[in-house]
Amino acid sequence: MLSNTIQSLLNQQVESEAASSQYYLAMASYAETKGYNGVAEFMYRHSDEERQHMLKLVRFINERGGHAIVPALSQPPTAFEGITEMFASLLEHEISITQKINELVAATLDEKDYTTHNFLQWYVSEQIEEEALARTIMDKLNLIDNDKGGLYLFDRDVAGFTVTSANDAPAG
Ligand code: FEO
């Protein structure tokens, strides 16, 4: 059984993952309208992955006797300054998600909820991989430095970039 504190924190994380999914969907739509089809592909897939992260939490909360709450979401941005700025926002966003996961993990230790602690290890690994991928992408974009030919090649390649982590393994 989940404590009220842990249930509430897990539900906040449901909201964060749902908001991430919407955020990356907005990025996908922006990229697609600007002709960056590879970037759009990457972002559509990333958005789907965030929805899966949300669903794992929803199922876990309910399986542990809690009630997962489907949250209302605020509208994400509709425009970005450019592709580099958009990926910089993605990295910043993932760093903030890592922080939330870390706080959640700390709370499970305070509450002696070792089952939830164990479940969250998947998210800890996932965040390491997602941040690493976002940093690799930013390194490439900084090298390209808005060169049109470079961005063309980046767009072609980024469609194939995936997080190769815990994503392949079942949660919990
Ligand atoms: Fe749900 Fe981007 O990690």
Please provide the DSSP assignment of 60-100 as one string.
HHHHTT--PPPPP-PPPPS--S-HHHHHHHHHHHHHHHHHH
Q: Has residue 56 been placed in a domain?
A: yes
Q: Has residue 172 been placed in a domain?
A: no
Q: For residue 124, what are the contacts with CB-CB under 8 A and spacing of at least 6? A: 101, 102, 105
| Domain with 143 in it | 4-70+79-167
Q: Has residue 139 been placed in a domain?
A: yes
Query: Cα-atom radius of gyration of the chain, to the nearest Å?
Result: 17
- Report the domain count for the chain: 1
The yes-or-no verdict on residue 159 having pLDDT over 50 is yes
State the closest ligand 1 atom to the C-alpha of 93, by its place in the atom list counted from 1: 2
What are the pocket residues of ligand 1 if the criterion is a CB atom closer than 6 Å to any ligand atom? Answer: 17, 20, 50, 53, 94, 97, 126, 130
SS3 percent helix, strand, coil of the chain, rounded to 5, is: 75, 0, 25
How confident is residue 83, by pLDDT bands cut at 50, 70 and 90? very high
Mean pLDDT (whole number) for 74-86:
96
Looking at this protein, which amino acid is placed at residue 53?
Answer: H
**Residue with CA nearest ligand 1 atom 1:** 50
| Model confidence pLDDT, tens digit, residues 45-64 | 999 999 999 999 999 999 99
Q: What is the pTM of this model?
A: 0.93
Query: Ligand 1 centroid to 103 CA: how many Å?
Result: 15
Determine contact, residues 27/43, Cβ cutoff 8 Å: yes
The yes-or-no verdict on residue 31 having pLDDT over 90 is yes
Residue 57: Cβ-neighbour burial (10 angstroms; 0-12, 13-18, 19+): buried
Mean pLDDT (whole number) for 106-122:
98
| Model confidence pLDDT, tens digit, residues 119-156 | 999 999 999 999 999 999 999 999 999 899 999 999 99
CATH code of the domain covering residue 40:
1.20.1260.10
Query: Ligand 1 centroid to 131 CA: how many Å?
Result: 9
The yes-or-no verdict on residue 164 having pLDDT over 80 is no
